[in-house]
A and B are shown apart, each in its own frame.
Chain A
Amino acid sequence: MTTHIDLGTVLRQTLSANLYSNLVTRPTGAAVRTQIELQLHDTDPSLTIIDFSHVSMIDFSCADEVIAKLLLRLATDREAYFVFRGLTDDHWDSVEAVLERHGLALVVERESGVELVGVLDDLERRAFQAIKRRGRTEVWDLARDLGESEYLTRGAIERMWRRRLIMRVGDTYMPVGELQ
């Protein structure tokens, strides 16, 4: 089940004066995150598109509340996947800062498809590109593509799945968003 959440709309619903298009201040971030959590489906796995297209700017405090806390709370406790849409250079400084601060990574949607940004090691980055090329795939295929042992590859893939950066169905893995 895919849920689409337009952050611009959530922001305007959250603030008493519905004129603003900037995600700023920690209280606003906390209120927006609460609204997002209320809109999420209870069933696992779930996929949620968080759409920044109508948000002009997000500051560090708000990025910490909206992005970091959302990922830290939900992605680990539940099988909840997020794809971030509409992130631009105007949002990136604050988003990058909170990802680095918490050692997080996230899935962003670009014209070329989904990509991972944030804190990842080299094997994880290469593994993700290999999964994108193959689509749905198993660990031993990936290990062969990457020229790494199955043990190391499985470790990287498991870590990425636990961070909800890739999806798992049975013994196969695929990019987040494939099930849309």
Chain B
Amino acid sequence: MTTVINIPQSLDENSFEQVLEQVVPLPPDARMLLDARHTRWASPYGLTALLALGQSRDAARPTLAVPDADDTTSYWARSNFFYYAGEFFDLKGVVPRRSQGDSAVLLEVTPIAKSEDVHGAVDRIQEKTSQIIGKELGLDPKAIVGFAMTLSEVCQNILEHAGRGGWVMVQTYNWTRRLGRRVVVIAVCDAGVGFRKSLESAGHMTDRWDDAAALEAAVIRSVSRFRDPGRGQGLAGVRKYIGRWDGKLSVRSGTARIAIVPSWDDDLPLQEGLTQFPGAQIQVTIPERIAR
């Protein structure tokens, strides 16, 4: 029997939880059809998390019914999503050929499995962000370097802690409904060991130890699984960067999600009891600067 998993019309950090709620109760070898036919939009988080989901279901290769809407499949193709999705899913439906890149996509879906991949991603983002960050988002040119550093550090989270590869994607879009401004978003997702197991491997457990405690330790207190005192600065640097540019950071791992929430957002700082999902899923959002 094949279980049909409905992919929401708009697939982002929040609605991806609906996907997980349908998938995770199924046995690892259950046959699944992920039905994205009615999906019209996906954020970088949505696309990279879908790949991580496919990566986590290696006991039985799922089928992915691609969106019906041409503009949606065309965008997913331009984002390189189908190129990597073919590794984990049987794709059903019309998959367009990959065409010229989209100017809003600053970095297409890009696999991160080794140090050189991070170098490649950072170099490519530097080429494309100067115009976007300066002119479209109205940020100081200094924000460009920090943005590339942030990208580097969140990608390195995969190298250091996941134990397997993951994906990154960067895009700018107009976040009309939520914010009424343009934003630039970095999403980094993997289906590796996650923060709790990573910290457990170094014996960092506290009295109350669960996914939420592990996220608090890693994201807020900069605890690392390595004993080297220089470790753990990466996410601290990301926090500093998003604080300076009024951005948002959210990190999901296991059954918990932690967020550094700016004044323009009403997200919860900590969510527990979410559906269990392996690895870590990170999103960084930097909004357009409004002249004061």
Chain A positions within 8 Å of B, measured between CB atoms, are 15-17, 19-22, 24-28, 56-57, 59-61, 64-65, 68-69, 89-90, 93-94, 97-98, 101-102
Further pairs besides A22-B122, A22-B152: 5, Cβ < 8 Å: A26-B160, A56-B126, A90-B142, A97-B236, A101-B229
Closest-by-CB residue of B relative to A72 is B230
State the CA gap A60–B239 with chains docked (Å). 12
Question: Once the chains bind, are A24 and B234 in contact (CB under 8 Å)?
Answer: no
A25 to B156 Cα, complex, angstroms: 7
User: A144 to chain B: closest CB distance in Å?
Assistant: 39
Q: Is the CB of B118 within 8 A of A24?
A: yes
A61 contact from B126, B156, B240, Cβ within 8 A: B156
Q: Are A57 and B233 in contact (CB under 8 A)?
A: no
Q: Which of A16, A17, A27, A59 contacts B152 (CB 8 A)?
A: A59
Closest chain B residue, CB of each to CB of A16: B116
B115 at the interface (CB under 8 A from A): yes
The contact of A60 among B115, B148, B234, by CB within 8 Å, is B234
Binding site for A on B (CB under 8 A): 115-116, 118-119, 122-123, 126, 142, 145-146, 148-149, 152-153, 156, 159-160, 229-231, 233-234, 236-237, 240-241
How far, in angstroms, from A24 to B122 measured CA to CA in the complex?
Answer: 8
- Given A15-B119, A20-B119, A56-B126; A68-B237 close (CB under 8 Å): no
Which residue in B115, B230, B240 is a CB contact (below 8 Å) of A25?
A: B115
State the CA gap A92–B164 with chains docked (Å): 32
Q: How far is the CA of A61 from the CA of B237 in the complex (A)?
A: 10
Which residues of the other chain, A, contact B229 by a CB distance below 8 angstroms? 101-102
User: What are the 5 closest A-B residue pairs judged by CB atoms, nearest first?
Assistant: A64-B230, A25-B115, A24-B152, A60-B237, A27-B115
Q: A24-B122, A60-B237 are in contact. Are A101 and B230 (CB under 8 A)?
A: yes
Instruction: Please judge, given known A-B contacts A16-B116, A94-B237, A97-B237, whether A22 and B148 are in contact too, CB under 8 Å.
Output: yes
The answer to whether B153 and A59 have CB atoms under 8 Å apart is yes
Residue of B119, B142, B146, B160 near A22 (CB, 8 A) is B119
